[in-house]
Amino acid sequence: MDLLAKHAHFVERHKRMIELGVKDVGVCVDEILSPTRAMIKGRETVLAGTNNYMGITFNEACIEAGKHALDVCGTGTTGSRMANGNYAMHAKLEAELAKFLNREQVIVFTTGYQANLGMISGLAGAKDTVYLDADSHASIYDACSVSGAQLVRFRHNDPDNLAKRLARANDAGETGRLVVLEGIYSMFGDRAPLKEFIDVKREYGYTLLLDEAHSFGVLGENGRGLADEAGLEDEVDFVVGTFSKSIGSIGGFGASNHPMFNVLRYAARAYMFTASSSPATIATSSAALRQLSEHPELRDRLRHNSTRLHRGFKDLGLKMCCDEVSPVVAVFVDDEPSTITMWNALLEEGVYVNLALPPGTPNSSCLLRCSVSAAHTDDDIDKIIAMFANVVASRQNKAAE
Tell me what pLDDT residue 143 has.
Answer: 96
pLDDT-derived band at 19 (thresholds 50, 70, 90) equals confident
Q: How high is the mean pLDDT of the chain?
A: 95
Whether 197 contacts 181, CB under 8 Å: yes
Using CA atoms, how far apart are residues 201 and 33, in angstroms rounded to an integer?
47
Task: Classify domain 60-294 by CATH number.
Answer: 3.40.640.10
Whether 243 contacts 282, CB under 8 Å: no
Mean pLDDT, rounded, for 176-187:
97
Using CA atoms, how far apart are residues 285 and 93, in angstroms rounded to an integer?
8
Whether 391 contacts 383, CB under 8 Å: no
Q: pLDDT digits over 42-91, tens only?
A: 999 999 999 999 999 999 999 999 999 999 999 999 999 999 999 999 99
Mean pLDDT, rounded, for 234-249:
98
Contacts of 231 (CB under 8 A, 6+ apart): none
Using CA atoms, how far apart are residues 215 and 222, in angstroms rounded to an integer?
12
Residue 183 clears pLDDT 90, i.e. is over it: yes
Contacts of 226 (CB under 8 A, 6+ apart): 183, 184, 191, 192, 194, 210, 212, 215, 219, 220
CATH class of the domain comprising 7-47+296-400: alpha beta
Using CA atoms, how far apart are residues 280 and 289, in angstroms rounded to an integer?
14
Tell me what pLDDT residue 23 has.
Answer: 62
**Which is nearest to 240 in space by CA: 225, 253, 256, 224?**
253
Q: How distant, in Å, are the alpha carbons of 313, 315, 365 from that of 322?
A: 12, 14, 13
Which residues are registered as beta bridge partners of 132?
A: 153, 180
Tell me what pLDDT residue 16 has.
Answer: 84
Whole-model pTM over 0.85: yes
Q: pLDDT digits over 306-327, tens only?
A: 999 999 999 999 999 999 999 9
CA 14 to chain centre: 25
Letter for the amino acid at 113? Answer: Y
How many CA atoms, within 13 angstroms, populate the side-chain half-sphere of residue 357?
A: 16
Task: Domain ranges for the chain, please list them.
Answer: 7-47+296-400, 60-294
Using CA atoms, how far apart are residues 389 and 114, in angstroms rounded to an integer?
39
Using CA atoms, how far apart are residues 107 and 307, in angstroms rounded to an integer?
34
Tell me how many degrees the CA angle 30-31-33 measures, rounded to the nearest 5.
150
Residue 24 clears pLDDT 70, i.e. is over it: no
pLDDT-derived band at 286 (thresholds 50, 70, 90) equals very high
Q: pLDDT digits over 333-359, tens only?
A: 999 999 999 999 999 999 999 999 998
Tell me what pLDDT residue 91 has.
Answer: 98
Residue 127 clears pLDDT 70, i.e. is over it: yes
Q: Lowest-confidence range among 151-165, 168-182, 195-209?
A: 168-182
Residue 170 clears pLDDT 90, i.e. is over it: no
Residue 369 clears pLDDT 80, i.e. is over it: yes
